[in-house]
A = this chain, B = another copy of it.
Amino acid sequence: MLTQDQLLVKTLGPCRIPSPLQGSKRVVFANENNRVRYHDKIGSDVPMDEADLSFEEAGPRPMVFFEPARTTAAIVTCGGLSPGLNNVIRAVYSELKHNYGVSRILGIRDGYQGLNPAVGQAPIELTREFVEDIDKLGGTVLGTSRGPQQPPVVVDFLKNQGIDILFCIGGDGTQRGAHAISEEIDRRGLPISVIGIPKTIDNDIPFVWMTFGYQTSLQEAERILRGAHVEAKGALNGIAVVKLMGRHAGFIAAGASIASDEANFVLVPEVPFPLDGDEGLLEMLRHRMQRRGHALIVVAEGAGQHLAADPEANVQRDVSGNVRFEDIGVFLCHRIKNYFTGIGVPVSVKYIDPSYVIRSVPANTWDRILANQMGRFAAHAGMAGRTDTLIGLLHNELIHVPLTTVTSHKRQLDLQSDLWMAVLSATGQPRWCG
Contacts and interface: CB of A to CB of B under 8 A. Distances in A.
A395 B395 contact: yes
Interface in A34-52: 34-37, 40-46
A171 B192 CA distance: 51
Contacts of A226: 136, 138, 360-361
A139 B233 contact: yes
B368 A261 contact: yes
Interface in A366-396: 366, 368-369, 372-373, 376-377, 394-396
Contact of A354 (B98, B233, B261, B357): B357
A17 interface: no
A389 to B, nearest CB: 18
Contact of A258 (B364, B372, B422): B372
Contacts of A24: 424
Contacts of A366: 215, 218-219, 259, 366
Contact of A352 (B139, B357, B426): B357
Task: Give the copy number.
Answer: 4
B54 A42 contact: yes
Interface in A1-59: 24-28, 31, 33-37, 40-46, 54, 57, 59
A139 B394 CA distance: 33
A428 interface: yes
Given A144-B234, A376-B425, A422-B372, A45 B31 contact: yes
Contacts of A54: 42
Nearest to A140: B234
Contacts of A353: 353
A178 to B, nearest CB: 20
A181 interface: no
Nearest to A367: B259
A222 interface: yes
A230 B36 contact: no
Contacts of A133: 133, 137
A36 B46 CA distance: 11
Contact of A259 (B44, B138, B369): B369
Interface in A405-423: 416-418, 421-422
A41 B34 contact: yes
A40 B395 contact: yes
A274 to B, nearest CB: 14
Given A224-B357, A230-B138, A372-B422, A36 B25 contact: no
A359 B43 CA distance: 40
A40 B399 CA distance: 12
Contact of A372 (B60, B261, B368): B261
Contacts of A87: 261
A425 B135 contact: no
A331 interface: no
A284 to B, nearest CB: 12
18 contacts: A31-B43, A31-B45, A35-B41, A35-B43, A81-B234, A90-B261, A133-B137, A136-B137, A138-B226, A139-B230, A143-B233, A227-B357, A227-B360, A228-B356, A255-B365, A352-B356, A353-B353, A396-B396
A-B pairs with the 8 shortest C-beta distances?
A: A34-B43, A395-B395, A227-B360, A139-B230, A26-B424, A230-B360, A40-B40, A219-B365
Given A34-B42, A40-B40, A60-B421, 5 more contacts: A27-B421, A27-B424, A139-B231, A145-B236, A259-B368
